[in-house]
């Protein structure tokens, strides 16, 4: 840099007036002249060479002349130069120095014109400043592609005409005639509101639409932003459609009890996460449970993430797991030749009453069976004792007042590509009930073990229902029982579970998919190892947090099921369904449709009695409100 060179200093132009050793004295305009008549104010500063960037080596006539220079032709010259550079593959997208760019555009790079030209290039959408070059003291620009220029011009236009564009958009919203895909970006706040990510939505207010998530949902469908098959419920409750990401890693090596014989993991054909297996060795019932707590420490990152989810989320589209997908290979039972488990060894008396329960870390050989196979082989020597234990346990519980309610259940599946919904009734087999009974025994045994050893633990209880003396038969009777049942309670104080007919109860059989089970396993393992236990207050806090998340997950799952049932009805508008009256409310009748596991209220049905059969057909479906109207065909 020489005297009278032009430089950039803090992104403004400055004139080099002298040199003092390794520093330069520069002159710059610290305050421009104003239209009101105030004169420009100039300042001087000593700077290091690295503090400035050479704009033009000069000499310039004066800083005042540099700042005053103007030429209306520069804009048109830049457009021609930009087009020329893009037309040649060797220059398109390549950085070009300011001086070369001026040579292309104006035929010369004059000192007094340098600042005006630099400012014009810098404010043009045609060129982008080369930030890396500027760090190295060089001024270079890169010609933007035609697509980039078009996008920037569009963005600038939208900024300048924001009110006008928004007014036109709101008009299209009111008419339900959006200009897609361009209008989709303006509907983002409606989507956020419909997914409960925000509690306010200006678009809804401006368009005269009620600020409710149902109204937002309807608007998104009506305007084509969402397809009617879109399921918003997991997101509304704060759940991801993806499984947990944090990896558990391989199961740690530790001393375990080798359990002889084979245990059986009995589950549905579609199960991918077998987490329990059962066996009877002639003296003890063994209930083996997957052991992820061997790798998950209390209050670890994985533990907290599982607590926030509460449970694995099962929805018709798929499964969002509480723990990572990859952990199944190491921790699920029966996927490898040898499985590691936390096992409950239970000694029963002749009526299936628990006499003793011990807990061990084990190695066990597990064989996977389907419910159908177990049903067909329930008289085999390996399985027969398990069925007998289950029958005795059910009889014991019923003698203690256990309530058995059998309502229809269905399996809902959705084709990911076509969104076609399939609904099939779930088969009721004794093998399903057998596994359920043995899991109840494991939960009861674990609760007794924890209470006996004064372990702060998660207990589940339920007060006894108050049934009327004239309960009807059939589906109506089952529904009446449901209405009388009390809510369950989750805490750290043991109390009877009247619904199950047991004095102590906890859930410990699904630590891969329920946080309450996982934290119970963490506590049991700590006790077995002689390590520090989670204190009562901390246990209560964690149990409550996990249970709250689990309740939210159940709501998301239930509403997702309802959503896809409504989609199924729309996809099969002419289908007819057998239904049964399960309740009377004045002249209205509530019907159960077993094949859909749905209920429908019909008006003015004074001729219908409880358990009467009817044939119903869908007449109207409201996806956002989750409502459906049926009409009686016969």
Summarize pLDDT for 120-142 with one digit per residue, the tens. 999 999 999 998 999 888 999 99
Strand-pairing partners, residue 422, are 413
Query: Is residue 22 over pLDDT 90?
Result: no
Three-state SS for 530-576 is: CCCCCCHHHHHHHHHHHHHHHHHHHHHHHHHHHHHHHHHHHHCCCCE
Using an 8 Å Cβ cutoff, are 171 and 186 in contact?
no
Instruction: Name residue 140's beta-bridge partners.
Output: 97
| Pair 316, 414: CB distance under 8 Å | yes
3-state class of 224 per DSSP? coil
Token code pair at residue 531: 């390590």
Residue 587: partners with Cβ closer than 8 Å, 6 or more residues away:
603, 604, 605, 606
Residue 286: other Cβ atoms inside 10 A: 22
Mean pLDDT, residues 361-369: 96
Query: How does residue 389 score in pLDDT terms, banded at 50, 70 and 90?
Result: very high
In whole angstroms, what is the distance from residue 395 CA to residue 444 CA? 15
In sequence order, what are the residues at sequence separation of 6 or more whose Cβ sits closer than 8 angstroms to the Cβ of residue 202? 189
What's the pLDDT tens digit per position in 305-317? Answer: 999 999 999 999 9
Q: Provide the CA 266 distance to its chain's centre, in angstroms.
A: 30
Element (H, E) at 308: helix 301-309
Alpha-carbon span 214 to 551, nearest angstrom:
22
Residues written for the chain: 634
Cross-strand pairs, 318: 315
Q: Which domains does the chain have, with CATH numbers?
A: 6-143 (no CATH), 161-226 (1.10.10.10), 257-388+401-561 (no CATH), 572-632 (2.40.50.140)
Three-state SS at 164: helix
pLDDT in tens, 238-289: 998 899 999 988 888 999 999 999 999 999 888 888 999 999 999 999 999 9
**E strand or H helix at 489, and its extent?**
strand 488-491
CB–CB of 333/359 below 8 Å?
Answer: no
337 pLDDT band, cuts 50/70/90, is confident
Residue 218 CA: distances (Å) to CA of 182, 189, 587 = 20, 14, 32
Give me the pLDDT at residue 413, please. 95
Q: Measured in whole angstroms, how far is the alpha carbon of residue 275 from the centre of its chain?
A: 23
- Whose tokens are 């002298």? That residue is 18
528, two tokens? 């077995």
- 248 neighbors 292 (Cβ within 8 angstroms): yes
Q: Which of 510, 508, 491, 251 is nearest to 359 (CA)?
A: 508
Which conformational region is residue 170 in: left (phi greater than 0), alpha (psi within -120 to 50 degrees), or beta?
A: alpha
For residue range 531-566, list pLDDT tens digits in order.
Answer: 999 999 999 999 999 999 999 999 999 999 999 999
Cis before 147 (ω within 30): no
What is the spatial distance between Cα 268 and Cα 256, in angstroms, rounded to a whole number? 29
User: Which pLDDT score is estimated for 34?
Assistant: 77
Euclidean distance between CA atoms 189 and 600, whole angstroms: 35
Q: What is the band of 594 on the pLDDT scale with cuts at 50, 70, 90?
A: very high
CA gap 480, 462 in Å, rounded: 18
Which residues 6+ apart lie within 8 Å of 295 measured at CB?
248, 249, 251, 252, 302, 331
DSSP label of 306: H
Q: What is the mean pLDDT of residues 19-23?
A: 86
Cβ distance 344 to 289 under 8 Å?
A: yes
Q: Alpha-carbon torsion 571, 573, 575, 579, what sign?
A: positive
Burial of residue 337 (number of CB atoms within 10 Å: 0-12, 13-18, 19+):
exposed
Quote the CA–CA distance of 59 and 407 in Å, as a whole number.
93
Of 99, 126, 124, nearest to 113 by C-alpha is 99
Neighbouring C-beta atoms of residue 441, cutoff 10 Å: 25
Looking at the DSSP assignment, which residues form a beta bridge with residue 602? 589
On whether the CB atoms of residues 197 and 237 are closer than 8 A, the answer is no
Return the biggest CA–CA distance within the chain.
111
Confidence of residue 168 (pLDDT cuts 50, 70, 90): very high
Between residues 130 and 30, which one has the greater pLDDT?
130
Residue found under tokens 């132009």: 13
Query: Nearest-CA neighbor of 232 among 224, 222, 247, 221?
Result: 221
Rounded to whole angstroms, how far apart are CA atoms 252 and 76?
Answer: 71
Predicted local distance difference test score (pLDDT) of residue 7? 94
Q: Which of 266, 336, 327 is nearest to 296 (CA)?
A: 327
Bridge partners of 278, per DSSP, are: 264, 287
d(CA 135, CA 416): 50
Arithmetic mean of pLDDT, 184-191: 95
At residue 204, the pLDDT reads 96
Q: Kind of pairing, strands 613-622 and 576-585?
A: antiparallel
Q: At what angle do helices 98-106 and 73-87 cross, to 10 degrees?
A: 110
H or E, element range at 67: helix 63-68
Angle among Cα 353, 355, 360 to the nearest 5 degrees reads 115
What percent of the chain is predicted at pLDDT more than 70? 100
Instruction: Name the 3-class secondary structure at 411.
Output: strand
Q: What average pLDDT is seen over the chain?
A: 94
Beta partners for residue 354, in sequence order: 348
Rounded CA-CA distance 255/246 in Å is: 26
pLDDT value at 36 more than 80: no
Say what angle helices 515-529 and 430-452 make with each other, to 10 degrees.
50
The answer to whether residue 37 scores a pLDDT higher than 80 is no
CB 103 within 8 A of CB 91: no
Percent share of the chain, pLDDT over 90:
85
């Amino acid at each position: 840099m020489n005297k009278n060179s032009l430089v950039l200093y803090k992104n403004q132009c400055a004139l080099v007036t002298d040199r003092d050793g390794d520093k330069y004295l520069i002159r710059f305009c610290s305050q421009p002249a104003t239209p009101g008549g105030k004169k420009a104010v100039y300042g001087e500063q000593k700077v290091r060479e690295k503090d400035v960037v050479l704009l033009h080596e000069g000499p310039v006539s004066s800083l005042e002349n540099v700042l005053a220079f103007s030429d209306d032709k520069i804009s048109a010259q830049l457009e021609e130069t930009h087009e020329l550079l893009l037309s040649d593959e060797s220059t398109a997208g390549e950085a070009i120095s300011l001086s070369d760019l001026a040579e292309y555009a104006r035929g010369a790079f004059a000192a007094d014109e340098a600042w005006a030209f630099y400012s014009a290039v810098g404010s043009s959408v045609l060129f982008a400043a080369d930030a890396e070059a500027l760090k190295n003291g060089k001024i270079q620009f890169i010609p933007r592609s035609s697509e980039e220029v078009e996008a920037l011009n569009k963005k600038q236009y939208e900024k300048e005409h924001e009110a006008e564009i928004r007014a036109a958009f709101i008009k299209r919203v009111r008419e339900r005639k959006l200009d897609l895909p361009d209008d989709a970006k303006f509907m983002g706040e409606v989507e956020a509101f419909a997914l409960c990510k925000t509690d306010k939505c200006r678009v809804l207010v401006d368009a005269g639409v009620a600020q409710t998530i149902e109204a937002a949902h309807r608007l998104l469908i009506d305007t084509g932003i969402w397809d009617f098959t879109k399921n918003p419920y997991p997101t509304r409750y704060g759940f991801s459609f993806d499984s947990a990401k944090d990896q558990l890693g391989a199961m740690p090596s530790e001393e375990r009890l080798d359990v002889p014989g084979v245990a059986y993991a009995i589950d549905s054909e579609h199960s991918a996460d077998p987490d329990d297996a059962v066996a009877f060795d002639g003296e003890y019932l063994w209930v083996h449970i997957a052991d992820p707590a061997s790798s998950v420490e209390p209050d670890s990152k994985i533990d907290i993430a599982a607590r926030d989810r509460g449970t694995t989320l099962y929805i018709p589209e798929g499964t969002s797991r509480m723990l990572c997908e990859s952990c199944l290979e190491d921790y699920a039972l029966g996927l490898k030749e040898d499985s590691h488990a936390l096992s409950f060894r239970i000694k029963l008396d002749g009526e299936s009453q628990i006499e003793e329960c011990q807990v061990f870390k084990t190695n066990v050989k597990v064989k996977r069976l389907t419910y159908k196979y177990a049903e067909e082989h329930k008289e085999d020597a390996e399985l027969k004792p398990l069925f007998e234990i289950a029958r005795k346990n059910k009889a014991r519980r019923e003698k203690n007042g256990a309530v058995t309610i059998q309502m229809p259940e269905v399996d809902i599946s959705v084709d990911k590509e076509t969104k076609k919904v399939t609904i099939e009734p779930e088969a009721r087999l004794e093998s399903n009930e057998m596994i359920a009974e043995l899991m109840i025994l494991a939960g009861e045994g674990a609760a007794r073990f924890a209470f006996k050893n004064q372990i702060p633990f998660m207990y589940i209880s339920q007060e006894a229902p108050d049934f009327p003396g004239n309960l009807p038969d059939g589906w109506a009777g089952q529904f009446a029982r449901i209405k009388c049942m009390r809510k369950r309670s989750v805490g750290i104080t043991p109390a009877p579970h009247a619904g199950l007919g047991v004095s102590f109860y906890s859930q410990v059989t699904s630590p891969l998919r329920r946080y309450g089970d996982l934290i119970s396993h963490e506590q049991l393992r700590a006790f077995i190892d002689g390590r520090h236990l989670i204190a009562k207050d901390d246990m209560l806090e964690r149990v409550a947090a996990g249970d709250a998340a689990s309740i939210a997950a159940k709501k998301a799952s239930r509403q997702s099921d309802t959503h896809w049932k409504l989609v199924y009805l729309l996809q099969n508008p002419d289908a007819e369904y057998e239904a049964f009256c399960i309740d009377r409310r004045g002249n209205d009748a509530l019907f159960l449709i077993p094949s859909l596991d749905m209920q429908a209220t019909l008006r003015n049905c004074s001729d219908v009695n409880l358990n009467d059969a009817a044939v119903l057909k869908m007449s109207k479906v409201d996806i956002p409100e989750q409502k459906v109207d049926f009409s009686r065909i016969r």
